[in-house]
Amino acid sequence: MMAGVLFALAAGLMWGLIFVGPLIVPEYPAMLQSAGRYVAFGLIALPLAWADRRRVRQLTRGDWKEAFKLSAVGNLLYYVCLAGAIQRTGAPISTMIIGTLPVVIAVSANLLYGRHEGRLAWHQLLPSLLLIGAGLCLVNIAELRGDGGPQNIGRYLSGIGLALVALVCWTWYPLRNARWMRSHPQHRAGTWATAQGIAVLPMALVAYALACGQMTLANDPFPLPFGPRPGLFIALMAAIGLFCSWLGTLCWSEASQRLPTVLVGPLIVFEILAGLAYTFLLRQSWPPLLTLCGIACLMIGVVSAMRIKPEPLPA
């Protein structure tokens, strides 16, 4: 249990970086950022796949189909929508929507996977979910206090829609990935993370080419193929591809093999907390008191959820 929690914490620390990436290079289109990240992920996975080729060969056709689905929805589509939402609505609104993940995932896991691994009693889980929800509300109220109204209502609403699609994608991905790891204990987490990198590479290359082609046809003055700050863009995509994609997936898969799926959901809160911490570091400011109160609620909610033992359903 403790090892699983620590692996989930490590995954959250890695995944939190995705909330600051679009803020570091705001002039880069969301599709280019997403495709660039996963091209980097795929290129990093190639030598890792060669080094682990004996275990990679053991993956079946069904395993590769699952890796493609996870990569397409949980990687490429999710990050396109998240980056686009952050650029259209700003970080606070997008964080508020994505920040509901711990509650949404916990409820979804209890409904969808409780019959496989034991269900958490709703009367025991509800106080934890309420604490997590209250914490998310406090954090986002504090953020929105300093945020001006939307300048372009159409762009703002499209950003809300993209954030909701990202929420659906990132609810599906960690649960599906966790369930696969629990039902395939013979595969190592590192091999599975590498397989997802190999699966996403061709899709990411096509997406990057399409993004460049679209901007060329639109006579966009954006300098291709690596934009106005190529050195920073390449370094940022490589860092996010390594830490957020490969290493984050590895740590989450390790956690998923050690924890019941219904307990994995609340631990996604580590990603939100890490994203907040990195955002305040980027701003070079301390979080306000309201934000600190929200973070305390989040942590208490997660700890209390982890203390609940799943109850097997009667046959």
How does pLDDT run across 242-291, given as a tens digit for each residue? 898 889 888 988 888 888 766 776 787 788 788 878 878 887 878 788 87
Q: What is the mean pLDDT of residues 73-99?
A: 77
- Residues 131 and 36: their CA atoms lie apart, in Å, by 37
How does residue 208 score in pLDDT terms, banded at 50, 70 and 90? Answer: very high
Q: What is the largest CA-CA distance in the chain?
A: 64
Please check the confidence at residue 33 and state whether its pLDDT lies above 90: no
Give the rounded percent of residues in the chain with a pLDDT score beyond 70. Answer: 88
Which residue intervals of the chain are DSSP H helices? 2-15, 21-24, 30-51, 53-56, 61-70, 78-89, 91-98, 101-117, 122-145, 153-183, 189-217, 230-240, 248-258, 261-264, 269-283, 289-306
Give the model's pLDDT for residue 285.
78
209 φ/ψ angles, rounded to the nearest 5 degrees: -65, -40
* pLDDT for the residue numbered 282: 81
Tokens 């097997």 found at = 312
Residue 49: predicted pLDDT: 93
The yes-or-no verdict on residue 87 having pLDDT over 80 is: no
pLDDT at 119: 65
The more confidently predicted of residues 199 and 308 is 199
Look at residue 73 in the predicted model and tell me its pLDDT. Answer: 92
Range scoring the smallest mean pLDDT among 5-19, 61-75, 260-274, 277-291: 260-274
**pLDDT of 148 strictly over 60:** no
pTM listed for this prediction: 0.76
Is 7 a residue whose pLDDT tops 70? yes
What is the pLDDT, as a whole number, of residue 311?
Answer: 66
pLDDT at residue 115 in the model: 65
